[in-house]
Amino acid sequence: MFKYVTKRILMVIPVMIGVSIIVFSLMRVFSPDPAPIVLGQHATIKSIEVWRHANGLDAPVVTQYVTYVAKAFKGDLGTSYYTKSQVAAEIGARFPATIELAIAAILFATTLGVLLGVMAAVKKNSVFDAAGSLFALIGVSIPIFWLGILFIMFFAGFLHLLPSGGRINVMLEPTRVTGFYMIDSLTQGNWDGFKDAFIHLILPALTLGMYSMAIITRMTRSSMLETLGQDYIRTARAKGISETKVIGKHALRNSLIPVTTVIGLQFGALLGGALLTESVFSWPGIGKYTVDSILKSDFPVVQGIVLLVAVIFVTINLIADLGYAFLDPRIKYSSKKED
């Protein structure tokens, strides 16, 4: 076990080095020269040269890479081509918004997904099961941005119930401490701000969480069905334990082990979905920032975000893998690599 954990953690290092090389070469080698885009069509050759030198783009690529990585370790991800501000600081300012959204989405996806999955499994072949399957099928088929648009049309346009975008009413914005508006407004006793942040969060969270919810529903259903077929469930029933207890205590706990892993992996996947959701709802997080930066060819920003997301993604996958190994005692990882 210890060997497996160590090996799994060490494997992250070459992957991250590789990712940084891939992203770096995509941005610096294969991309068109950003200078004419940033400086505009009428830039002179002289001004382009000056700009390239100022941004370190005239050095050999390998030197550029080494400088970039060395700086990145100190938390310096370079500066934006346009605003000249620190990329790390810009990301830091937007990151809490994305995390707040992702957490809300995963909470929704987990609660509803597990509930639907359990109901579908317990009442197999019933209306619940059919409805759950249909819901899950639509959840994986509907484009996330169109779902967001439909939500806005219905809840904001038709019912006038929820806001169509943004994160909070500017007047109610809490003083920034953690950057999580729900937490900041609550700790500052800003009750109206809390309510406003909450209603702004509902639609984006539902939109972003829908795909994960579908996956979690499917996974819970199949895992639960498998568990319900086990001998110890039959034994529990034979002992005369009430059905609620059999399902709640014996079946659910065991069938949720694989679901936990899926939830972990889905959280990573949400960071990808956030790109689209944030664009639809004008949510001021890193997703929208990424899209805007790509459209402007602001490469240092894109590079910084992709690397950061990769670090988070890999870390979450690692935790999910290790968590699975710890949670399920039946799994024994041999220290020797086997395929």
Partner 1 sequence: MTEFDYPQDTPRPDPSSLTHLADETMALGERLPSGDIPDFDETLHEKPENQWLEMWRSLIANRAALVSLIFIAFLVFLAVFGPLLTPYNPISTNMAASLRAPSAAHWFGTDQLGMDIFSRVIAGTRVSLTVGLLAVSIALTIGVILGAVAGYAGGWVDSVIMRLMDMMLAIPSILLAITLMAALGKGIDKAVIAIGLVSIPEYARIVRGNILSIKQNDYIAAARVVGNTDFRIIFRHILPNALSVIIVRATLGISSAVLDTAALGFLGLGVQPPQAEWGDMLGRARGFIFQAPWTLLYPGMAITVTVLAFNLLGDGLRDALDPKSRVK
Q: Which of 137, 161, 177, 327 binds partner 1 (CB under 8 A)?
A: 137
* C-beta contacts of 240-248 below 8 A and 24+ residues apart: 247/118, 247/122
Nearer Cβ to partner 1 (88/320): 320
| Tokens 């979690």 found at | 216
Q: Which of 95, 135, 145, 155 binds partner 1 (CB under 8 A)?
A: 145
| Tokens 């014996």 found at | 250
* CB within 8 Å of 141: residues ≥ 6 apart: none
CA dihedral defined by 107, 111, 117, 123, rounded to 10 degrees? -170
Q: Which of 212, 113, 211, 203 is nearest to 166 (CA)?
A: 203
Q: Which of 57, 186, 314, 319 binds partner 1 (CB under 8 A)?
A: 314
The number of helices, as runs of H, and strands, as runs of E, in the chain is: 14, 0
* CB within 8 Å of 160: residues ≥ 6 apart: none
Q: Which of 35, 99, 106, 215 binds partner 1 (CB under 8 A)?
A: 215
- Binding part of the chain for partner 1, among 54-62, 68-76, 151-159, 184-192 by CB under 8 A, reads 151-159
Nearer Cβ to partner 1 (108/194): 108
- Least distance from partner 1 to the Cβ atom of residue 149, Å: 5
Q: Which residues bind partner 1 (CB under 8 A)?
A: 4, 8, 11, 14-16, 18-19, 22-23, 26-27, 30-32, 137-138, 140-146, 149-150, 152-153, 157, 164, 211, 215, 219, 261-262, 265-266, 268-269, 271-273, 275-276, 279-280, 290-291, 294-295, 297, 299, 302, 306, 309-310, 313-314, 317, 320-321, 324-325, 331, 333, 337-339
